[in-house]
Every structure is written in C-alpha cells, then in structure tokens.
Amino acid sequence: MLQSMLQEAGRAGALLTIDLRALRANYRYLQGRLGKAACGAAVKADAYGLGAIPVSKALVDEGCRHLFVAQLEEAISLRAHIPRDVAIYVMHGSPVGYEAEFIEYGCTPVLNSLDQIAAWRKLAQERQENLPAVIQIDTGMARMGLSQAELITWLNDFSITDGIDVRYAMSHLACAEDQLDPMNQMQLKSFQNLLAQLRQHYPGLKASFSNSSGIFLGTDFHFDLARPGAALYGVAPVAGQASPMHSVVQLQGRIIQTREIPMGASVGYSKTWRATQPSKIATVSVGYADGWLRSLSNCGVAHITGVEVPMVGNVSMDTITLNVSHVDPQLLYSGALVDLICPNNTVDQVAKRAGTIGYEILTSLGPRYQRHYVD
C-alpha cells in the first residue's frame, strides 16, 4: 500500500499533505477554550477542501459529536462513515420534497424559514412522532435564518413547531474575526433576548452561536455548542493577532523543467513580467485549475529548502513559474518538490498575497493534488 501511495504521489503534479495530528490538536485547543460548551465542527465543502471523511473520522475519534455540513448530499455521503450517535446537521435545511431522507440517513436539518418549519412539521405529523431540528434565527447577517417578521410569527404562535423537537436555537456571527466590531455585541444582545423569550415556551432550550472566531470573543458567546471550521484547519481566527492554531496543510508542487532566460525576456501569458537580468526560471505543475488563484500572479512566493523564491508571470491553468536564479542548481531537478503552503508561507499569508481569505485558499484546492494524510 505504501509503495502504491508513493507511486501515485510521484505521478501527481503536486502533493497536498493533511496533518490530522495538527487537526486533532486544534480541536483540543478550541474545546479547552470552550470549557463546558461542546465543540462541534464545520466539515462542509469537503471539510474546507481537506476531505470530509478522513477529517470527520479524526474529529470523532477526538470526541466531537456534532458535525455541520451545508447540503443534504454532503450529509448522506458522510453518514456512511460516521457513527449514528454523532449528529450531522445540514445548515441549508431540506431541499423541497426531500425531508424524509433526513430520517433515512439520520441527519438533522437546520430550519431557516417558516416554509422549512412547515414542511418538517408536516412530516412529523405524517409519522406521528417528534422530529429533531435546529432553528436558525437571523440576528443581523441577513443571510439565512428566520427574519424578524418570521420570528415574530413564531413567538406569537408556538404551535407552528408542534411535532418538532427543537434541539438548538442557532444564529451566526457576521464580524467575529474583528473583536472590536460593535456588531458582535449587537448580535449577542439580540440573540440573548430572543433566547429569553423562546425559553419561556421551551425551558432548557440549548443554543449555538459561535463560529471559529466567536470562540475567541469570550464565554458570553459560547452558549451550549460552538461550530468552528477554519480554525480547525489552521486559519487564524482573530484578525491582526498571531494565530494559536497549528498548520494542518502543506502543499508542494513539482518542478517540470527549468530554463535560462536573458535580460529583457518575458515570462508567461501577456508578458506581465520581464527579466531585468539573466535569470533561471522553474516551471511548476500547479495552476488555477488546481485552485492556485490567478490573483497570485507576480506576487506569490514559494520555498525551496527554506529559501523564498518569487512567482513571476501570470498563473496559468496548469503551471506557475518561479524565479530560482539564487537557488542551488542541484535542488532544481525535474520532479523536485517546492513548498507553496508551509510553515514559512501559511494559508493566511498566501491569502493575503492573493487579496482574499484563508477559507477561499483551502476550499479552492483542486482534485488533481495527491492527498496524503498523516495521523
């Protein structure tokens, strides 16, 4: 098996290593900050591109009992590999007409509208049993969850949830990565007030509020269940502060070939970079088709045995080009690996150069990488 894996890694243009030990350590760290509150995990979008099945298995082994995905199909794919006593929540709720599949696959919908609540209640009545659900409330993000008008309808008529076992009331923070943003406190107060009203009818109703960054806002934001995602995978949770999270991913691309170019020669599409002196250029088998964003053209970097080298020219569909003029030529053989994401060039640093966020870097990592899990 090891020989087969090494052969596959050699055939691939790039190697993506996912350190499940670091993932586990990040989970333990976040759970430690939460105290008595439970630490769930957002494993949507294939665990942010790292592989929902191996990532979820590692988190469950570490004690996680609450997994969050976005879509029903994600939940169905994951359920076959996860014990039934681990809850899988579908944050988009049920597609119209597919409510019964939640029962079949043992998944819990997050109900975001009165229409979704009505469809779930109808199924509960047909089955003559209480069906579990989470109800999401919009506290200012204006994305998903009951609007203020829908919430008022619910507060005035609790019968609309007859037959629904409301496990959690949930909301989502919009600006938690910026600890000084006043919207954090505004949303917190709104959520606390709503919970107080709901608990008059649902005594002991549990609540879920914090994402990764919300965990770092303090205990008032923790409630009963947190839903970290990006921090688990090594993305810094607080803007402007050193990250306490372990790096989980390492991305290495392979050198296809190198060439000497004279002063004045251009590199790549549209001639966006031109050599100011004779230079050595290495072509690496990673491009925007692999999720290496085109916005990294002429501003990205790579590392070769710790030496930083600049990315020159535009990112192509399948390749990037590096100026390796000052690198030991013995390190530049065909098939040699160069570090694109590593401790010297973290996901957050790559994102900053690309003008985006670490979330997009991770979720863009394409299927052509040979993925290698370390545990």
The residues assigned a catalytic role are: 44, 269
Q: Is residue 368 annotated as involved in ligand binding?
A: no
Round to whole Å and give the CA distance between 253 and 339: 7
State which amino acid sits at residue 32: G
Helices (H) and strands (E) in the chain, counts: 11, 19
How far is 360 from 117, CA to CA, in rounded Å? 32
Residue with tokens 């008595």: 36
167 annotated ligand-binding residue? no
Q: How far apart are CA 230 and CA 48, in angstroms?
A: 8
Place of tokens 């592989």: 51
How far apart are the C-alpha atoms of 318 and 303, rounded to whole Å?
19
Q: Which of 205, 47, 50 is nearest to 133 (CA)?
A: 205
Q: At what angle do helices 148-156 and 182-201 cross, to 10 degrees?
A: 20
| Contact yes or no for 331/339 (Cβ under 8 A) | no
Could you tell me if 317 and 288 are in contact, meaning their C-beta atoms sit under 8 angstroms apart?
A: yes
CA 210 to chain centre: 15
- The backbone torsions φ and ψ at residue 142, rounded to the nearest 5 degrees and listed phi first, read 55, 45
Q: Counting every residue, how long is the chain?
A: 375
Tokens 């998944």 locate to 107
CA torsion sign, 329 to 334 to 336 to 340? positive
CA pair distance 317, 294, nearest whole angstrom:
9
CA distance 52 to 221: 27
| Per-residue CA distances from 23 to 40, 45, 60 (Å) | 13, 17, 12
Residue 361 to residue 364: CA distance in whole angstroms: 5
CB atoms within 10 A of CB 113: 16
> Annotated binding site, which residues?
143, 317
> Annotated binding site for substrate, which residues?
143, 317
